Amino acid sequence: MTQQLPLRGLKVLDISQGIAGPNCAMMLALQGAEVVKVEPPRGDWMRTIGVRYGKQSAHSAAYNRGKKSIVLDLKNPVALAATRRLAAEADVFVENFRPGAVNRLGLGYDEVAADNPGLVYVSISGFGQHGPYSDRPCTDTVAQAFSGMMTVNRAMDDSPVKMGAFFIDAFTGLYAFQAVSMALYGRRDSGAGQYLDISLMQSVAAMLTPNIMEQYVQNGPPRLPNVPGGVYQTKDGWMLATLLREQQYRDLCAVLGLPELAQDPRFDDFDKRDANKAALLPLLQAAFLDDTTANWEARLREVDVLCGPVNSILDWLGDPHVQAVNAAPMFSQPDLGAVPLPTIPGVSPASEGDPLHKLPDVGEHTRAVLEDLGLDAADVEALVKEAATVA
């Protein structure tokens, strides 16, 4: 596939940290935009999430590729003035400061758009720019709890479960990317920019739209949708079995050697199985322990029961299908070495040496970007020296 880079020639200023904002800006970079990422002297805090490899983490490597990295301390008047000049030349501005913080720096939408009316300006926050919770700190996990997502993502014992990956942050970045893309599309004819208020709260709500509708109509959580579908321990691991039709429940019982459960009036439809799952699930679990995941998977697939092993990440990477379609090609990144880089749908896979997927070193482009901006040589040297102190 040849990448067409539809955003080539556009300039993006990314002063965000974490995942949501950087993910939005990274998606713009992978479509050809020139993205300048401004980091504070201490560095983007995303670089410290999880294991740190030199000045990077796996999260920073995932969400900062394809960008130019500069280090500017926005408490320094010269650095702040340089950032304002970058904003005046940008097509897109991405920030995720606490609501009101950019205004105090003179980088708010009204200030920047006054000199750059075609700017698409994106503010990403936990609860949005307005409302009683706008100043509350919010993380991916807080958004999962606040939104009700944890109660939708229930374990088989009905306890709420937190997702282990930062999905809300990542999806918020994707929603921001699509909103920016549409604003840029609209700007082609009107020439007018746009202010976009993107929040984790609203993003997770958009993801949960059918669940929100259903719970409103039902005045509470509905039954689990496919009992006894779920995760079961086997003799050598774990596997998932899921059901869409009543026949699949009967077939599951037959394969497990429990045909009597298919005739039991307590379990003869999805509603009754949900109501009586405390009695049903232990019987099924005990049967699954009698054989291996691979054997159960083969037997259940023969009768068209949806199932599969519960893989680890490394299991997924080594799967023959993943390997055959090159779903995560290896790519060398600073400090991390060669790592698998999953292909984003619609984006050309990473190939060694491709600058679109390369992670910049912290502050790598500070001098070049500031010189292109036309700053005084002495100011450039002072800011470059300051950038070199990044831990």
SS3 assignment for 119-133 = CEEEEEECCCCCCCC
Catalytic residues: 169
Q: Give domain status of residue 2, yes or no.
A: no
The pLDDT of 87-93, averaged and rounded, is 97
Coil, helix or strand for 252? helix
198 and 260 together in one domain = no
Sequence length of the chain is 391
Domain that holds residue 266: 230-310
The pLDDT of 282-309, averaged and rounded, is 97
For the stretch 147-179, pLDDT in tens is 999 988 877 677 888 988 999 999 999 999 999
Q: In whole angstroms, what is the distance from residue 17 CA to residue 124 CA?
A: 10
pTM recorded for the entire structure: 0.92
Number of domains in the chain: 2
The pLDDT assigned to 91 comes to 98
Q: Give domain status of residue 166, yes or no.
A: yes
119 and 47 together in one domain = yes
Rg (CA), the chain: 25
Q: In whole angstroms, what is the distance from residue 35 CA to residue 38 CA?
A: 10
173 and 60 together in one domain = yes
Which of 281, 310, 339 is where one domain is finished?
310
Cβ atoms of residues 273 and 253 within 8 Å? no
The pLDDT assigned to 386 comes to 81
Q: Which two tokens stand for residue 93?
A: 């501005």
27 and 137 together in one domain = yes
- Label residue 332 by pLDDT band (50, 70, 90): very high
- CA 161-166-172 angle, 5° bins: 115
| Residue 106, phi-psi category: left (phi > 0), alpha (psi -120 to 50), beta (remainder) | left
CATH of the domain at 273: 3.30.1540.10
Residue by residue, DSSP assigns 158-181 as S-B---SS-HHHHHHHHHHHHHHH
Q: Which two tokens stand for residue 270?
A: 């999805």
| Residues whose CB is less than 8 angstroms from the CB of residue 220 and which lie 6 or more positions away in sequence, other chains included | none
Q: Give domain status of residue 5, yes or no.
A: no
With a pLDDT cut of 90, the percent of the chain lying above it is 80
Q: Give domain status of residue 144, yes or no.
A: yes
Tell me the H-state helices in the chain: 20-30, 58-63, 77-89, 101-104, 109-115, 140-147, 149-152, 167-190, 200-207, 209-218, 246-255, 259-263, 270-275, 277-288, 293-302, 313-318, 320-324, 366-372, 377-387
Question: In 10 A of CB 371, how many CB atoms?
Answer: 12
Helix (H) or strand (E) holding 241: strand 238-242
Quick check: 391 pLDDT over 50? no
64 and 187 together in one domain = yes
61 and 150 together in one domain = yes
The pLDDT assigned to 1 comes to 42
175 and 50 together in one domain = yes
Backbone angles phi, psi at 296, to 5 degrees: -65, -40
- Label residue 286 by pLDDT band (50, 70, 90): very high
83 and 43 together in one domain = yes
The pLDDT assigned to 47 comes to 84
Which of 310, 337, 353 is where one domain is finished?
310
Which of 259, 285, 310 is where one domain is finished?
310
The pLDDT assigned to 156 comes to 65
- Label residue 355 by pLDDT band (50, 70, 90): confident
CATH of the domain at 28: 3.40.50.10540
Q: Give domain status of residue 315, yes or no.
A: no
- Average pLDDT over the chain, rounded to an integer: 93
The pLDDT of 108-117, averaged and rounded, is 96
Q: In whole angstroms, what is the distance from residue 35 CA to residue 14 CA?
A: 7
- Label residue 212 by pLDDT band (50, 70, 90): very high
**314 burial class (0-12, 13-18, 19+ CB within 10 angstroms)?**
exposed
| Residue 50, phi-psi category: left (phi > 0), alpha (psi -120 to 50), beta (remainder) | left
Q: Give domain status of residue 212, yes or no.
A: no
105 and 195 together in one domain = yes
165 and 63 together in one domain = yes
For the stretch 60-70, pLDDT in tens is 999 999 999 99
Quick check: 389 pLDDT over 70? no
195 and 108 together in one domain = yes
The pLDDT of 294-323, averaged and rounded, is 97
Q: Give domain status of residue 263, yes or no.
A: yes
Q: Give domain status of residue 290, yes or no.
A: yes
The pLDDT assigned to 241 comes to 97
- CA-wise closest residue to 172 among 144, 213, 132, 133: 144
**171 burial class (0-12, 13-18, 19+ CB within 10 angstroms)?**
buried
Helix (H) or strand (E) holding 93: strand 92-95
Coil, helix or strand for 215? helix
Quick check: 3 pLDDT over 70? no
| Residues whose CB is less than 8 angstroms from the CB of residue 124 and which lie 6 or more positions away in sequence, other chains included | 16, 20, 21, 24, 94, 95, 96, 172, 173, 176, 198, 199, 200
Quick check: 317 pLDDT over 60? yes
| Identity of the amino acid at 5 | L
253 and 361 together in one domain = no
Cβ atoms of residues 198 and 171 within 8 Å? no
Quick check: 41 pLDDT over 90? no
Backbone angles phi, psi at 55, to 5 degrees: -100, 15
